[in-house]
Amino acid sequence: MKDDNKNNFLVNDIYNRLLAAYGPQHWWPAESPFEVMVGAVLTQSTAWTNIEKAITNLKKAHALSPDAIRNMPFSELAELIKPSGYYNVKARKLKSLIYWLDENYSSDIDRMEKADTQKLREALLAVYGIGPETADSILLYALGKPLFVIDAYTKRIFSRIGLTSEENNYNEYQRLFMANLATDPIVFNEYHALIVKHAKEACNKKPVCGRCCLSQICSHSGKI
């Protein structure tokens, strides 16, 4: 099989195997697009359980809205999101995102959703503290835009399988998925969530290849 055809087959085959093994993941775990945006900033370098605590603090303080975060003193915001770690930096990132949202879309996420996807992505990447993973998480999970999210789990699993090199950059990884899947935000949503699930269930730092649904196609199976 030619490399392009092989990649196309494997990217789709892996999705089907993960979906059969774990079922739908119902991502993103949030009650509103704005909560997704906040979660996408807070989740950088932190376990999700800590983000849940920070989001709960914001909800209890009636502070999970663009207006509340914009008007809140910096120190108060940092205190509320403390469980998410790096809370001073993350408070600054959140404020920057909220100012950007206000300046460009009057804090109206429905208006933001109508903007061109690539222009929106470029604009988000120019906001302090927003890298490609956070930008694409916001675009896909808050706005339903068709962009595949790449994270450290994706790199770990797909380089172990042998489809990619761990040295490849974010854009190269993203191209692998977006060139080989139908442009469908529902599939992109589910696939990334399944990758995270698989990294936690089987392909963690010490992989449990014996109970892995991808072991038949993985070039590292049993070798780590």
For ligand SF4, the binding residues (CB under 6 A) are 157, 160-161, 202-203, 207-209, 212, 214-215, 218, 220-221, 224
Minimum Å distance from CB 168 to ligand SF4? 17
Which lies closer to ligand SF4 via its Cβ, residue 77 or residue 202?
Answer: 202
Minimum Å distance from CB 40 to ligand SF4? 26
Which lies closer to ligand SF4 via its Cβ, residue 73 or residue 210?
Answer: 210
C-alpha to C-alpha distance for 110 and 57, rounded to whole angstroms: 25
Minimum Å distance from CB 204 to ligand SF4? 8
C-alpha to C-alpha distance for 120 and 136, rounded to whole angstroms: 10
Which lies closer to ligand SF4 via its Cβ, residue 92 or residue 220?
Answer: 220
8 Å CB contact between 48 and 104: no
Minimum Å distance from CB 223 to ligand SF4? 8
8 Å CB contact between 51 and 81: no
Which lies closer to ligand SF4 via its Cβ, residue 54 or residue 161?
Answer: 161
Minimum Å distance from CB 108 to ligand SF4? 42
Minimum Å distance from CB 210 to ligand SF4? 8
Structure tokens at 7: 């990649």
Which lies closer to ligand SF4 via its Cβ, residue 124 or residue 218?
Answer: 218
- Least Cα distance to 78 among 89, 65, 62 occurs for 89
Q: Which region holds residue 28: left if phi is over 0, alpha if psi is between -120 and 50, else beta?
A: beta
Cβ-Cβ contacts under 8 Å for 143 (sequence gap 6 or more): 33, 109, 112, 113, 120
Which lies closer to ligand SF4 via its Cβ, residue 64 or residue 194?
Answer: 194
Cβ-Cβ contacts under 8 Å for 71 (sequence gap 6 or more): none
Minimum Å distance from CB 51 to ligand SF4? 25
Structure tokens at 144: 């339903």
Which lies closer to ligand SF4 via its Cβ, residue 55 or residue 203?
Answer: 203
Structure tokens at 77: 């915001």
C-alpha to C-alpha distance for 120 and 138, rounded to whole angstroms: 10
